[in-house]
Structure 1
Amino acid sequence: MMTDPIADFLTRLRNAQSARRETLTLPSSRMKFSIAKILEREGYLASVQEETDGPRKTLTVSLKYDGGKKAPAIRTVRRISKPGLRVYRKANELPRVMSDLGIAIVSTSQGIMTNKEARKRKLGGEILCEIV
Protein backbone atom coordinates (compact mmCIF):
# COMPACT_ATOMS: atom_id res chain seq x y z
CA MET A 1 0.00 0.00 0.00
CA MET A 2 1.31 3.44 -0.95
CA THR A 3 1.27 6.03 1.81
CA ASP A 4 1.68 9.16 -0.35
CA PRO A 5 0.23 8.87 -3.87
CA ILE A 6 0.74 12.59 -4.60
CA ALA A 7 4.48 12.34 -3.91
CA ASP A 8 4.57 9.24 -6.14
CA PHE A 9 2.84 11.18 -8.95
CA LEU A 10 5.26 14.11 -8.64
CA THR A 11 8.27 11.77 -8.56
CA ARG A 12 7.07 9.91 -11.66
CA LEU A 13 6.59 13.25 -13.40
CA ARG A 14 10.09 14.43 -12.43
CA ASN A 15 11.68 11.13 -13.49
CA ALA A 16 9.84 11.00 -16.83
CA GLN A 17 10.97 14.52 -17.69
CA SER A 18 14.58 13.81 -16.76
CA ALA A 19 14.45 10.69 -18.99
CA ARG A 20 13.01 12.87 -21.83
CA ARG A 21 9.81 10.82 -22.16
CA GLU A 22 6.98 12.09 -24.34
CA THR A 23 4.15 10.59 -22.24
CA LEU A 24 3.63 9.23 -18.77
CA THR A 25 0.99 6.67 -17.79
CA LEU A 26 0.08 6.06 -14.15
CA PRO A 27 -2.86 4.98 -11.98
CA SER A 28 -5.48 7.72 -11.72
CA SER A 29 -7.31 9.29 -8.80
CA ARG A 30 -9.43 12.43 -8.51
CA MET A 31 -6.66 14.34 -6.74
CA LYS A 32 -3.95 13.35 -9.26
CA PHE A 33 -6.28 14.26 -12.13
CA SER A 34 -7.04 17.66 -10.55
CA ILE A 35 -3.34 18.40 -10.04
CA ALA A 36 -2.54 17.34 -13.61
CA LYS A 37 -5.34 19.54 -15.02
CA ILE A 38 -3.98 22.53 -13.08
CA LEU A 39 -0.49 21.86 -14.46
CA GLU A 40 -1.93 21.64 -17.97
CA ARG A 41 -3.88 24.89 -17.54
CA GLU A 42 -0.78 26.69 -16.19
CA GLY A 43 1.32 25.52 -19.17
CA TYR A 44 3.55 22.94 -17.47
CA LEU A 45 2.02 19.91 -19.28
CA ALA A 46 0.96 19.49 -22.92
CA SER A 47 -2.19 17.41 -22.30
CA VAL A 48 -3.90 15.22 -19.71
CA GLN A 49 -6.32 12.36 -20.40
CA GLU A 50 -8.07 9.92 -18.10
CA GLU A 51 -8.73 6.50 -19.62
CA THR A 52 -10.64 3.50 -18.30
CA ASP A 53 -8.92 0.12 -18.57
CA GLY A 54 -11.48 -2.32 -17.24
CA PRO A 55 -12.11 -1.65 -13.55
CA ARG A 56 -9.12 0.71 -13.21
CA LYS A 57 -8.57 4.23 -14.49
CA THR A 58 -5.24 5.40 -15.83
CA LEU A 59 -3.94 8.91 -16.28
CA THR A 60 -1.98 9.64 -19.47
CA VAL A 61 0.07 12.82 -19.33
CA SER A 62 1.86 14.33 -22.34
CA LEU A 63 4.94 16.13 -21.10
CA LYS A 64 5.98 19.56 -22.35
CA TYR A 65 9.50 20.74 -23.14
CA ASP A 66 10.82 24.25 -23.85
CA GLY A 67 12.43 24.95 -27.22
CA GLY A 68 14.66 22.76 -29.32
CA LYS A 69 17.07 22.08 -26.46
CA LYS A 70 14.44 19.85 -24.84
CA ALA A 71 14.56 21.56 -21.47
CA PRO A 72 11.65 20.36 -19.29
CA ALA A 73 8.87 22.90 -18.74
CA ILE A 74 8.86 21.93 -15.05
CA ARG A 75 12.22 22.86 -13.53
CA THR A 76 11.57 21.91 -9.91
CA VAL A 77 8.82 20.07 -8.08
CA ARG A 78 8.72 20.08 -4.29
CA ARG A 79 6.21 18.31 -2.05
CA ILE A 80 5.31 20.58 0.87
CA SER A 81 2.58 18.91 2.93
CA LYS A 82 3.41 15.28 3.69
CA PRO A 83 1.51 12.54 5.53
CA GLY A 84 3.81 12.99 8.53
CA LEU A 85 3.60 16.79 8.56
CA ARG A 86 0.58 18.54 7.10
CA VAL A 87 1.08 22.21 6.19
CA TYR A 88 -1.97 24.50 6.30
CA ARG A 89 -1.97 28.24 5.62
CA LYS A 90 -4.53 31.04 5.71
CA ALA A 91 -5.30 32.97 2.52
CA ASN A 92 -3.01 35.87 3.43
CA GLU A 93 -0.18 33.46 4.37
CA LEU A 94 -0.11 31.47 1.11
CA PRO A 95 3.40 31.28 -0.37
CA ARG A 96 4.58 33.27 -3.38
CA VAL A 97 6.74 30.79 -5.28
CA MET A 98 9.72 32.63 -6.82
CA SER A 99 7.83 35.95 -6.61
CA ASP A 100 4.80 34.40 -8.38
CA LEU A 101 6.83 32.99 -11.30
CA GLY A 102 5.99 29.49 -10.06
CA ILE A 103 2.84 28.06 -8.51
CA ALA A 104 1.84 26.29 -5.34
CA ILE A 105 -1.05 23.84 -5.50
CA VAL A 106 -3.45 24.24 -2.59
CA SER A 107 -6.25 21.94 -1.45
CA THR A 108 -9.07 24.20 -0.23
CA SER A 109 -12.64 23.65 0.91
CA GLN A 110 -13.76 24.57 -2.62
CA GLY A 111 -11.40 22.17 -4.41
CA ILE A 112 -7.80 22.03 -5.55
CA MET A 113 -6.42 25.25 -7.06
CA THR A 114 -3.28 27.34 -7.40
CA ASN A 115 -2.09 29.69 -4.69
CA LYS A 116 -3.00 32.67 -6.92
CA GLU A 117 -6.62 31.52 -7.33
CA ALA A 118 -6.93 30.75 -3.61
CA ARG A 119 -5.55 34.18 -2.72
CA LYS A 120 -8.09 35.88 -5.04
CA ARG A 121 -10.96 33.88 -3.50
CA LYS A 122 -9.61 34.51 0.01
CA LEU A 123 -9.32 30.77 0.76
CA GLY A 124 -6.69 29.01 2.80
CA GLY A 125 -5.91 25.34 2.87
CA GLU A 126 -3.32 22.59 2.69
CA ILE A 127 -0.30 23.41 0.51
CA LEU A 128 0.33 20.24 -1.51
CA CYS A 129 3.37 21.18 -3.62
CA GLU A 130 5.36 23.96 -5.27
CA ILE A 131 6.23 23.93 -8.98
CA VAL A 132 8.58 26.19 -10.91
Structure 2
Amino acid sequence: MTDPIADYLTRLRNAIKAAHRIVEIPASNMKKELTKVLHEKGYIQNYKFVEDGPQGTIKIALKYNPQTKVNSIVNLTRVSKPGLRKYVDKESLPRVINGLGIAILSTSKGVMTDKEARVEGIGGEVLCYVY
Protein backbone atom coordinates (compact mmCIF):
# COMPACT_ATOMS: atom_id res chain seq x y z
CA MET A 1 0.00 0.00 0.00
CA THR A 2 1.56 3.28 -1.05
CA ASP A 3 -0.73 5.69 0.85
CA PRO A 4 -2.16 4.31 4.11
CA ILE A 5 -3.80 7.62 5.09
CA ALA A 6 -5.75 7.73 1.81
CA ASP A 7 -6.82 4.13 2.46
CA TYR A 8 -7.98 5.15 5.98
CA LEU A 9 -10.04 8.04 4.61
CA THR A 10 -11.50 5.88 1.82
CA ARG A 11 -12.59 3.19 4.28
CA LEU A 12 -14.33 5.85 6.38
CA ARG A 13 -15.98 7.36 3.28
CA ASN A 14 -17.22 3.94 2.09
CA ALA A 15 -18.60 3.06 5.54
CA ILE A 16 -20.47 6.37 5.68
CA LYS A 17 -21.97 5.88 2.21
CA ALA A 18 -23.06 2.35 3.13
CA ALA A 19 -24.51 3.65 6.46
CA HIS A 20 -22.43 1.28 8.59
CA ARG A 21 -22.27 1.83 12.34
CA ILE A 22 -18.77 0.41 12.84
CA VAL A 23 -15.77 0.27 10.53
CA GLU A 24 -12.53 -1.69 11.09
CA ILE A 25 -9.25 -0.28 9.79
CA PRO A 26 -5.71 -1.71 10.00
CA ALA A 27 -3.81 0.25 12.65
CA SER A 28 -0.71 2.40 12.51
CA ASN A 29 0.52 5.20 14.75
CA MET A 30 -0.54 7.92 12.28
CA LYS A 31 -4.02 6.40 11.87
CA LYS A 32 -4.38 6.22 15.67
CA GLU A 33 -3.54 9.92 15.95
CA LEU A 34 -5.99 10.81 13.16
CA THR A 35 -8.70 8.82 14.95
CA LYS A 36 -8.02 10.63 18.23
CA VAL A 37 -8.33 14.03 16.53
CA LEU A 38 -11.60 13.03 14.81
CA HIS A 39 -13.00 11.84 18.16
CA GLU A 40 -11.90 15.00 20.03
CA LYS A 41 -13.58 17.21 17.45
CA GLY A 42 -16.83 15.20 17.51
CA TYR A 43 -16.76 13.69 14.02
CA ILE A 44 -16.85 10.07 15.26
CA GLN A 45 -18.75 8.64 18.21
CA ASN A 46 -16.11 6.34 19.69
CA TYR A 47 -13.07 4.25 18.82
CA LYS A 48 -11.17 1.26 20.14
CA PHE A 49 -7.67 0.03 19.42
CA VAL A 50 -7.58 -3.79 19.18
CA GLU A 51 -4.13 -5.37 19.47
CA ASP A 52 -4.48 -8.61 17.50
CA GLY A 53 -1.65 -9.93 15.40
CA PRO A 54 1.42 -7.90 14.48
CA GLN A 55 -0.45 -4.78 13.33
CA GLY A 56 -3.75 -4.55 15.18
CA THR A 57 -6.95 -2.83 14.10
CA ILE A 58 -8.92 0.31 14.88
CA LYS A 59 -12.68 -0.08 15.40
CA ILE A 60 -14.47 3.21 14.79
CA ALA A 61 -18.11 3.82 15.73
CA LEU A 62 -19.49 6.38 13.29
CA LYS A 63 -21.69 9.23 14.50
CA TYR A 64 -25.15 9.73 12.98
CA ASN A 65 -27.90 12.26 13.73
CA PRO A 66 -30.75 10.26 15.36
CA GLN A 67 -33.57 12.15 13.58
CA THR A 68 -32.23 12.55 10.05
CA LYS A 69 -29.80 9.57 9.97
CA VAL A 70 -27.16 11.85 8.41
CA ASN A 71 -23.50 11.32 9.32
CA SER A 72 -21.55 14.10 11.02
CA ILE A 73 -18.80 13.79 8.39
CA VAL A 74 -19.89 15.30 5.08
CA ASN A 75 -16.55 15.16 3.27
CA LEU A 76 -13.04 13.78 3.80
CA THR A 77 -10.40 15.08 1.40
CA ARG A 78 -6.75 13.98 1.25
CA VAL A 79 -4.49 16.99 0.65
CA SER A 80 -0.86 15.92 0.97
CA LYS A 81 -0.06 12.84 -1.11
CA PRO A 82 3.11 10.72 -1.29
CA GLY A 83 3.91 12.14 -4.73
CA LEU A 84 3.17 15.77 -3.79
CA ARG A 85 3.50 16.82 -0.17
CA LYS A 86 1.77 20.03 0.98
CA TYR A 87 3.58 21.92 3.72
CA VAL A 88 2.40 25.20 5.22
CA ASP A 89 3.98 27.66 7.62
CA LYS A 90 2.19 29.30 10.52
CA GLU A 91 1.14 32.33 8.44
CA SER A 92 -0.57 30.30 5.70
CA LEU A 93 -2.51 27.67 7.69
CA PRO A 94 -5.67 26.66 5.75
CA ARG A 95 -9.22 27.44 6.85
CA VAL A 96 -11.75 24.82 5.79
CA ILE A 97 -15.19 26.23 4.90
CA ASN A 98 -14.35 29.51 6.64
CA GLY A 99 -13.64 27.78 9.96
CA LEU A 100 -16.57 25.32 10.03
CA GLY A 101 -14.41 22.33 9.06
CA ILE A 102 -10.96 21.28 10.20
CA ALA A 103 -7.65 20.70 8.49
CA ILE A 104 -5.58 17.96 10.15
CA LEU A 105 -1.84 18.67 10.19
CA SER A 106 1.20 16.63 11.07
CA THR A 107 3.51 18.98 12.96
CA SER A 108 6.68 18.72 14.99
CA LYS A 109 4.47 18.63 18.11
CA GLY A 110 2.24 15.82 16.82
CA VAL A 111 -0.97 15.52 14.81
CA MET A 112 -3.35 18.43 15.42
CA THR A 113 -5.99 20.62 13.79
CA ASP A 114 -5.35 23.91 12.03
CA LYS A 115 -6.86 25.84 14.96
CA GLU A 116 -4.54 24.18 17.47
CA ALA A 117 -1.55 24.86 15.19
CA ARG A 118 -2.49 28.57 15.05
CA VAL A 119 -2.51 28.70 18.85
CA GLU A 120 0.85 26.88 19.01
CA GLY A 121 2.26 29.09 16.25
CA ILE A 122 3.61 26.24 14.13
CA GLY A 123 3.07 24.86 10.63
CA GLY A 124 3.41 21.39 9.16
CA GLU A 125 2.18 18.96 6.56
CA VAL A 126 -1.54 19.24 5.73
CA LEU A 127 -2.86 15.66 5.81
CA CYS A 128 -6.58 16.11 5.09
CA TYR A 129 -9.67 18.33 5.29
CA VAL A 130 -12.73 17.19 7.25
CA TYR A 131 -16.16 18.84 7.26
**Fold shared, TM-score > 0.5 on shorter chain:** yes
Secondary structure (helix, strand or coil) at the match of 1:55 reads coil
Corresponding residue number in structure 2 for 1:29: 28
Query: Which one-letter code corresponds to 2:103 in the other structure?
Result: A
Secondary structure (helix, strand or coil) at the match of 2:13 reads helix
CA distance in 2, matches of 1:96, 1:111: 19
Query: More strand by proportion, 1 or 2?
Result: 1
Query: Which one-letter code corresponds to 2:57 in the other structure?
Result: T
TM-score with structure 2 length normalisation? 0.97
For the aligned residue pairs, the C-alpha RMSD in angstroms reads 0.8
Deviation at 1:55, TM superposition (A): 2.6
TM-score with structure 1 length normalisation? 0.97
| Alignment of 1:6 onto 2:5 | yes
Corresponding residue number in structure 2 for 1:99: 98
- Counterparts of 1:1-132 in structure 2, within 5 Å, are 2-132=1-131
Deviation at 1:9, TM superposition (A): 0.2
Q: Is contact 2:28–2:55 with CA below 8 Å preserved after alignment? A: no
Per mean C-alpha deviation after superposition, the further-off stretch among 6-15 and 54-63 is 54-63
Query: May I ask how many residue pairs the two structures share in their alignment?
Result: 131
Secondary structure (helix, strand or coil) at the match of 1:99 reads helix
CA distance in 2, matches of 1:75, 1:42: 14
Deviation at 1:54, TM superposition (A): 3.0
CA distance in 2, matches of 1:32, 1:6: 7
Query: Which one-letter code corresponds to 1:50 in the other structure?
Result: F
Secondary structure (helix, strand or coil) at the match of 1:66 reads coil
Query: Which one-letter code corresponds to 2:117 in the other structure?
Result: A
User: What's the CA shift string for 1:79-111, capped at 9, x where partnerless?
Assistant: 000001000000110101011100000000010
After TM superposition, the runs of 4+ consecutive aligned structure 1 residues lying more than 2 A away are none
Q: Percent identity?
A: 49
